[in-house]
Structure 1
Amino acid sequence: MNIIFEEDDFYTGPQLEAPMVQRAEYLLGVRLPPAYIDLLYRRNGGVPRSRCCPTEFGTTWAPDHIQISAIRGIGGEWGIETNSGLGSADMIAEWGYPDVGVVICDMPSAGHDAVMLDYSESGPQGEPAVIYIDEDRIPRRIADSFVEFLELLVACDRFAEKSGE
């Protein structure tokens, strides 16, 4: 898992500590994937340089991929567990996403779509899949695990060249 973040720390939370993880898991009612926690210990959220994920389905935004703006961390304004209006539970309620897990990415659409950890098959203590929620609110699997999701992220210029942009 060699994710490289942009220098911008806009989405980056405070230095992650074990009590923060325990509190987030308690508030969210799930065990977060170890790979996600490991990433957050290195940098607690931020903007990855590779922000596009190929898909086998078309979306409202592109025929063959999705784009994220950031991977959310724990704590601070952008933390997945916060009740600041920007946390996962608030986003699920505000945008009508299916209540199957945790919103982990900020999107360029600012809420019209989402990337989530999906616990519907694994249960709250299992290894969640990663899903994409488009404007139709139908969950579409993009990766079987958070590790696989990170491995799928590529530079977005790969898609701009394909479409002739």
Structure 2
Amino acid sequence: MGRFDGFDAAGFWDDSAYALAEYVEEAPPSPELIASPEEELGGYRPPDSCVALMAAHNGGVPARNHFPMPQAASRAVDHLEINGLRGIGRDRPHSLGGEFGSRFWIDMWEHPDIGVYFGDTPSAGHDMLALDYRARGRHGEPAVVHVDQENDFAITFVAENFEAFVAGLVDRPVHDTSGRDRVAAPRG
């Protein structure tokens, strides 16, 4: 892929019928396609790591769909769950330029215009993942943040960049329940 040193792409994507119909663009993004959504996305350029991942598999549902978090940022206390990652294109409903692409969340649901909404969660849009360009400008390397509509659009830092986010996805959350187990353990 040109990026993602040490990243194991084998088994990363779940190519279910749903994923193929809703998220996965049929072709890798061409330079023209990369440039045109940039115009549609308010001038934000997808980071090189996103372009590299989409060149190998243009959008989809990751099989490793949990991102461990040190604090609560969604319904779970210690992780975010990901439904899908938007591909670079317009053909699928959940592509960056598709029916439920990035601008849909900004224009229709009034999510803050901080960058590009590239990933969704099981909350059906009540919380989303975004590439946050506020600190580094429209062509800089954006951070990944979680935006929670149900909490006045609270923005929580997730990862330093897209590559770190993708590389940090795991099969399922790693729970340290030792404290709860001690409290719940029967005394006797």
Q: Indicate conservation of the 8 Å contact 1:13/1:74, yes or no.
A: yes
Q: Indicate conservation of the 8 Å contact 2:66/2:171, yes or no.
A: yes
Where 2:35 maps in the other structure, the secondary structure is helix
Could you list the per-position Cα deviations for residues 29-79 of structure 1 after superposition, in whole angstroms to 9, with x for gaps in the alignment?
112100100100111101111101111221341111110111110221222
In 2, the alpha carbon distance for the partners of 1:48 and 1:66 equals 13
Pick from 10, 13, 38: which aligns with 1:5?
Answer: 13
Where 2:40 maps in the other structure, the secondary structure is helix
Larger Rg: 2
Q: What do you get for the CA RMSD once the two structures are aligned?
A: 1.8
Pick from 30, 33, 40: which aligns with 1:27?
Answer: 40
Aligned pair count reads 161
Residue in structure 2 matched with residue 91 of structure 1 by the alignment: 105
Where 2:108 maps in the other structure, the secondary structure is helix
1:158 Cα offset (Å): 3.4
In 2, the alpha carbon distance for the partners of 1:66 and 1:119 equals 21
Where 1:108 maps in the other structure, the secondary structure is coil
Q: Indicate conservation of the 8 Å contact 2:95/2:101, yes or no.
A: yes
Q: What's the TM-score once normalised by structure 2's chain length?
A: 0.79
Where 1:104 maps in the other structure, the secondary structure is strand
Pick from 142, 146, 161: which aligns with 1:132?
Answer: 146
Q: Indicate conservation of the 8 Å contact 2:73/2:80, yes or no.
A: yes
The runs of 5 or more residues in structure 1 that have no matched partner are none
In 2, the alpha carbon distance for the partners of 1:59 and 1:72 equals 21
- Deviating beyond 4 angstroms after TM superposition, the runs of 4 or more aligned structure 1 residues are 161-164
Residue in structure 2 matched with residue 104 of structure 1 by the alignment: 118
Q: Indicate conservation of the 8 Å contact 2:73/2:146, yes or no.
A: no
In 2, the alpha carbon distance for the partners of 1:152 and 1:51 equals 10
Pick from 145, 158, 161: which aligns with 1:145?
Answer: 161
The runs of 5 or more residues in structure 2 that have no matched partner are 182-188
**Aligned residue identity for 1:156:** R
Q: Indicate conservation of the 8 Å contact 1:98/1:139, yes or no.
A: no
Aligned identity (percent) is: 32
Could you list the per-position Cα deviations for residues 136-163 of structure 1 after superposition, in whole angstroms to 9, with x for gaps in the alignment?
111111001001101211112534x858
